[in-house]
Amino acid sequence: MQLVNAGQATRRAPVAVTGLGLVTPAGVGQAAAWEGLCAGTSTATADPGLDGLPVAFSCQVPDLDAPRLLGHRLSRRLDRFTTFALLAAREAVADAGLTPGDWDGPRIGIVMGVGTGSMQGWQAEFDRLAARVPDRVSPLALPRSVPNMAAAEIALDLGATGPNLVVSTACASGTSAIGLARELLLSGACDLVLAGGSESARLPMTAACFAQMRALSRRADAPHEASRPFDRDRDGFVLGEGAAVLVLERTADARARAARPTALVAGYGASCDAHHFTSPHPGGDGAARAIRSALLDAGLAPEDVDHVNAHGTSTPQGDLAEHNALHQVFHRPPPVTAVKGTIGHAIGGAGAIEAACTALTLRHQLIPPTANLHTQDPAIDLDVVAKSPRPTPMRAAISSSFGFGGQNAVLALTAAE
């Protein structure tokens, strides 16, 4: 069957990023996180919570005193991924100069990306079931762990009563959420959307599963050297955690309230490899389709793109497939960075953190370095920024995310006027 106008689209309006909130292993809060990302030093270290497992190190959010920040009662109810989401949302709203009590709640949407939710407290509950004492299972176990609570708890906290949902597209979830949020704005369904992603991947079951799949780096003698995107000696990714939330508005609405955008989300593209349940298409075909779709949506040509914030997980297959995708789209790919070298892989939170980083890159006209790139893989012909931040004039950049199931999601961002 031949579809009419298949593969064609018209440029649509960008939306403004008017607020950012970040919770990352490189720092908590936008300023601290940006400083940590620009330092380009890995945050991976031994993780006592993973003791006894084949891989017992991770990138961890530092010094997070949830009871002090959220109060004892609320912090007790929330799992770690929801805590991150709520803190990032509060910062994003404040950064946007908004007061929740003053907004029209039904016109405020929330879209969050979460890969799996959380198994943070489930081991104790399974132990109680095994001991045949089901009456001792916590009534909070389910509502604190299901994925939708990342969005629901933000709504409860801020009084946002519009569309409220969580997107789960594996490691592309945070990017997918931002793309869907843009659709809610352009369709007129919402006037403002808080969008992002959140996850804590440094949990025993998560670590055991990924280790069994041979996806994690085994560099236990030097965890800080383990996550090395595009490096010749990469051997897998490092578990991470964190969240990012972006406040998105139509550009006219942002202008009307004199908000100064950090950047604009100009385009979004998504695709599925339909190739393998965990491995990417080796040629990067699905990823390339998503990149082209994002550029088409934004009205950009490949030569208009000045920077790529790569998915760059540090896996042998994944990094090579991404290289191949970039060479399908670009005659000569622009400068690339991969922040997972610094903060590890936050799964559902990764794409949102990287989109926020891309927005800040455009604001500051500065590309953060890729940590641990000592000897670039000779099979990877990319200009990877390493060692130190690189000042670069930039008008447009893409932020790419790829996940299990062949999920691909790409955002095209442009500098704010």
Count other Cβ atoms within 10 Å, centred on residue 219.
21
In the prediction, which pLDDT does 129 show? 87
Residue 2 in this model has a pLDDT that exceeds 70: no
DSSP state of 369: P
DSSP letter string over 242-264?
Answer: EEEEEEEEEHHHHHHTT---SEE
pLDDT grade, residue 124 (50/70/90)?
A: confident
Instruction: Identify residue 307 by its one-letter amino acid code.
Output: H
Mean pLDDT of the chain: 94
DSSP letter string over 112-142?
Answer: EE-SS---TTHHHHHHHHHTT-GGGS-TTHH
In the prediction, which pLDDT does 9 show? 52
Which value, in Å, is the radius of gyration of the alpha carbons in the chain?
20
Residue 3 in this model has a pLDDT that exceeds 50: no
Work out the average pLDDT over 407-411: 98
Residue 104 in this model has a pLDDT that exceeds 90: yes
Work out the average pLDDT over 259-274: 97
Residue 5 in this model has a pLDDT that exceeds 50: no
Please give, one letter per residue, the 3-state secondary structure of 361-408: HHHHCEECCECCCCCECCCCCCCECECCCEECCCCEEEEEEEEHHHEE
Homologous superfamily in CATH for domain 15-405: Thiolase/Chalcone synthase (3.40.47.10)
pLDDT grade, residue 10 (50/70/90)?
A: low
Residue 240 in this model has a pLDDT that exceeds 80: yes
pLDDT grade, residue 121 (50/70/90)?
A: confident
Phi, psi of 32 (to 5 degrees): -65, -40
- Identify which of 168, 377, 397, 402 has the alpha carbon closest to the alpha carbon of residue 288: 402
pLDDT, tens digit (0-9, with 9 covering 90-100), for 192-224: 999 999 999 998 989 999 999 999 999 999 999
Higher pLDDT, 285 or 141: 285
104 to 71, 99, 107, 380: CA distances (angstroms): 26, 11, 6, 49
In the prediction, which pLDDT does 257 show? 95
Work out the average pLDDT over 229-239: 98
Work out the average pLDDT over 354-369: 98
Tokens matching residue 339: 């922040």
pLDDT, tens digit (0-9, with 9 covering 90-100), for 289-303: 999 999 999 999 999
Locate the domains of the chain by residue range. Answer: 15-405
Where b means 16+ CB within 10 Å and e means fewer, 288-304 reads bbbbbbbbbbbbbebee
In the prediction, which pLDDT does 7 show? 47
pLDDT grade, residue 6 (50/70/90)?
A: very low
pTM recorded for the entire structure: 0.96
Catalytic residue IDs: 171, 311, 345
> What is d(CA 366, CA 384) in angstroms, rounded to the nearest whole number?
14
Higher pLDDT, 102 or 262: 262
In the prediction, which pLDDT does 173 show? 98
pLDDT, tens digit (0-9, with 9 covering 90-100), for 314-331: 999 999 999 999 999 999
> What is d(CA 347, CA 327) in angstroms, rounded to the nearest whole number?
25
DSSP letter string over 310-378?
Answer: ------HHHHHHHHHHHHHH-SS---EE-THHHH-B-GGGHHHHHHHHHHHHHHHTEEPPBTT-SSB-T
